[in-house]
């Protein structure tokens, strides 16, 4: 009788769905470090990202440091931006870096063909960008022009930025006021060359890559560069296969991957006035990153079992319709708690795959797509995405601790997604951080955390939440959504019980 009752309890679907969330933290099984480069951002000459976002010019009334907004510098320093990718995106394969050096009033203008046909006056160029990186403490990631540039041009750019002396390029840099080279390590060799970067086939690009990569050094500095091959569009696995097969591994440090969380490229929907059906689709696309990374990594493992070559997710984030009344080519969108969900689950995915995903760049930093900062004249506001990345930056450079997560599902319209996403790490001071996201917009989730190999002492937490999923910060109400301290948990020996409110992001520390 007792046995029958036990079986009945185990098999009853109604009982199985109740409080299933359980996380096992293997605090004694850490092996790989979460590369800080996963916390990279992206700044393209697109809309108001560079001009008006980062850069207002030295004569602006807005407080600035050599033309870069002081408020932006402070916000990005606090965020701990590990690396910044520039000047594109699609713009990169139209950009000729020599147009952006020397006296600003002598620089030629160009038409920004990809992003609204605006006039680019080249007032923000190589020096401005590399000095900006120094000001915010970020490593530069320069995206080279392969689509419409030349091997010589990219080779010269490396010499100009990185070499001490001994070439016309280093003399030119010094004449332009910079004696010491910046020593930029991360270099993209073209961007989306399957599309805006030249509509190439992977076999053709692999050959082109070999040629460009060969001349990106003088033979002395080559081993110091981290060269990134233009990578696949979401699930184009053949692209990764061909690059890994056809490019010699001694000239390849990273292979890129781009994936945006888009509902439908022809009907992206509003950034703020979205339905639950649209939210569900966005989260499905965001969670798809797990599958994409896993499959691209499987292909890379076949050719590079030692994991020497990194997977570089150098464009990711949510993409919606632009804000009403703004230029459609400027990709200016608001940022809600939905974006906080995307950021939280995506970073958790990158952490769990940190042995291969070693660089990533959210698209884009300011006023474009899933921005961390929005500006309007002298005003600036931090978005929910900013706050998630700031809460999560405790994971940078920490030892990733494997987690086994059993989660309830978030159900909508006969479909389901895992409700809880998680990752964990131990930092250099021995502190353990667990980041948890409940994407369910309707229900809190209780989760039991069992800890192996560490003790849950002095537990504290921070949370990002808001009443509605559609909530966002505005210039009038900039602090509607911001991290708060969190204490909705209890500790019993080595178990934690945590209640995650609907659509919330929590980071625990002990």
Nearest alpha-carbon partner for 40 in 239, 262, 188: 188
Candidates 44, 120, 139, 192; catalytic one: 192
To the nearest whole angstrom, how small is the minimum distance from the Cβ of residue 181 to ligand AHR?
Answer: 28
Under the binding rule (CB under 6 A), the answer on residue 89 touching ligand AHR is yes
Q: Which stretch binds ligand AHR (CB under 6 A): 74-82, 84-92, 119-127, 395-403?
A: 84-92
Burial label for 386, CB within 10 Å (0-12, 13-18, 19+), is buried
Site for ligand AHR in 134-173 (CB under 6 A): none
Q: Which is nearer to ligand AHR, 87 or 441 (CB)?
A: 87
Q: Which stretch binds ligand AHR (CB under 6 A): 85-93, 102-110, 354-362, 502-510?
A: 85-93
Torsion angle, alpha carbons of 445, 451, 455, 456, to 10: 0
Nearest alpha-carbon partner for 43 in 105, 158, 124: 124
E-state strands within 165-210 = 186-189
Task: Catalogue the long-range contacts made by 425-428 (C-beta closer than 8 Å, 24 or more residues apart).
Answer: 425/30, 425/34, 425/351, 425/394, 425/395, 425/398, 425/399, 425/400, 425/401, 426/27, 426/30, 426/398, 426/399, 426/401, 426/454, 427/394, 427/395, 427/397, 427/398, 427/399, 428/397, 428/398
Under the binding rule (CB under 6 A), the answer on residue 285 touching ligand AHR is no
315 is catalytic: yes
192 is catalytic: yes
Tokens in use for 7? 């079986």
Under the binding rule (CB under 6 A), the answer on residue 88 touching ligand AHR is yes
Under the binding rule (CB under 6 A), the answer on residue 471 touching ligand AHR is no
| CA 38/CA 314 separation, integer angstroms | 9
| CA 381/CA 14 separation, integer angstroms | 45
Under the binding rule (CB under 6 A), the answer on residue 120 touching ligand AHR is no
| CA 295/CA 232 separation, integer angstroms | 12
Residue with tokens 């369910």: 440
Under the binding rule (CB under 6 A), the answer on residue 90 touching ligand AHR is yes
To the nearest whole angstrom, how small is the minimum distance from the Cβ of residue 257 to ligand AHR?
Answer: 12
Under the binding rule (CB under 6 A), the answer on residue 47 touching ligand AHR is no
Q: Which stretch binds ligand AHR (CB under 6 A): 17-25, 82-90, 434-442, 485-493?
A: 82-90
Among 21, 94, 126, 191, interactor with ligand AHR by CB under 6 A? 191
Instruction: Build a one-symbol-per-residue string for 287-316: x at contacts with ligand AHR by CB under 6 A, - elsewhere.
Output: ----------------------------x-
Under the binding rule (CB under 6 A), the answer on residue 198 touching ligand AHR is no
Under the binding rule (CB under 6 A), the answer on residue 44 touching ligand AHR is yes
Among 32, 120, 139, 192, interactor with ligand AHR by CB under 6 A? 192
Under the binding rule (CB under 6 A), the answer on residue 256 touching ligand AHR is no
Candidates 315, 390, 446, 465; catalytic one: 315
Nearest alpha-carbon partner for 21 in 424, 483, 421, 464: 421
φ/ψ of residue 384, rounded to 5: -55, -35
Nearest position to ligand AHR, beta carbon = 89
Tokens in use for 352? 């769990």
Q: Which is nearer to ligand AHR, 369 or 401 (CB)?
A: 369
Torsion angle, alpha carbons of 153, 206, 363, 186, to 10: -60
To the nearest whole angstrom, how small is the minimum distance from the Cβ of residue 15 to ligand AHR?
Answer: 47
Under the binding rule (CB under 6 A), the answer on residue 363 touching ligand AHR is yes
Size of the site for ligand AHR (CB under 6 A): 10
Residues that bind ligand AHR in the complex, under the rule CB under 6 A: 44, 88-90, 191-192, 315, 363-364, 369
């Amino acid at each position: 009788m007792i046995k029958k009752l036990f079986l009945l309890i185990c098999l009853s679907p109604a009982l199985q769905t109740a409080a299933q969330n359980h996380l096992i933290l293997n605090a004694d099984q850490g092996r790989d470090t979460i590369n800080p480069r996963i916390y990279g951002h992206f700044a393209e000459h697109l809309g108001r990202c560079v001009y008006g976002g980062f850069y207002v010019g030295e004569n602006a009334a807005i407080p600035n440091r050599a033309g870069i907004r002081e408020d932006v510098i402070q916000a990005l320093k606090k965020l701990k931006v590990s690396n910044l990718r520039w000047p594109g995106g699609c713009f990169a394969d139209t950009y000729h870096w020599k147009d952006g050096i020397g006296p600003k009033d002598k620089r030629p203008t160009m038409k920004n063909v990809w992003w609204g046909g605006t006039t680019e006056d080249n007032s923000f160029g190589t020096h401005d960008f590399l000095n900006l990186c120094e000001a915010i403490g970020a490593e530069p990631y320069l995206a080279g022009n392969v689509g419409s540039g030349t091997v010589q041009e990219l080779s010269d750019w490396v010499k100009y930025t990185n070499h001490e002396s001994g070439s016309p390029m280093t003399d030119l840099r010094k004449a332009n006021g910079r004696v010491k080279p910046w020593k930029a390590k991360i270099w993209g060799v073209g961007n989306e060359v399957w599309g805006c970067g030249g509509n190439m086939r992977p076999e053709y690009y692999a050959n082109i890559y070999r040629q460009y990569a060969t001349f990106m050094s003088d033979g002395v500095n080559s081993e110091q560069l981290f060269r990134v091959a233009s990578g696949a569009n979401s699930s184009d696995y053949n692209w990764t296969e061909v690059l890994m097969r056809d490019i010699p591994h001694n000239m390849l440090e990273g292979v890129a991957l781009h994936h945006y969380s888009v509902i439908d490229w022809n009907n992206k929907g509003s950034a703020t006035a979205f339905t639950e059906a649209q939210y569900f689709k966005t989260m499905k696309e965001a969670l798809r990153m797990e599958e994409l990374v896993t499959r691209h990594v499987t292909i890379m493992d076949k050719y590079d079992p030692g994991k020497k070559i990194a997977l570089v997710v150098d464009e990711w984030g949510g993409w919606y319709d632009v804000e009403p009344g703004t230029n459609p080519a400027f990709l200016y969108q608001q940022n809600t708690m939905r974006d906080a969900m995307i950021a939280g689950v995506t970073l958790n995915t990158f952490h769990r795959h940190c042995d291969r995903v070693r660089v990533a760049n959210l698209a884009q930093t300011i006023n474009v797509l899933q921005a961390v900062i929005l500006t309007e004249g002298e005003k600036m506001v931090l978005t929910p995405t900013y706050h998630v990345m700031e809460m999560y930056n405790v994971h940078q450079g920490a030892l990733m601790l494997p987690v086994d997560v059993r989660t309830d599902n978030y159900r909508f319209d006969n479909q389901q997604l895992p409700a809880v996403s998680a990752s964990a790490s131990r930092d250099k001071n021995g502190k353990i951080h667990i980041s948890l996201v409940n994407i369910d917009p309707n229900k809190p989730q209780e989760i039991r955390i069992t800890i192996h190999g560490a003790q849950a002492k002095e537990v504290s937490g921070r949370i990002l939440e808001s009443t509605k999923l559609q909530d966002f910060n505005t210039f009038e109400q900039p602090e509607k959504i911001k991290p708060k301290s969190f204490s909705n948990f209890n500790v019993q020996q080595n178990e934690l019980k945590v209640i995650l409110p609907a659509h919330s992001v929590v980071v625990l520390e002990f």
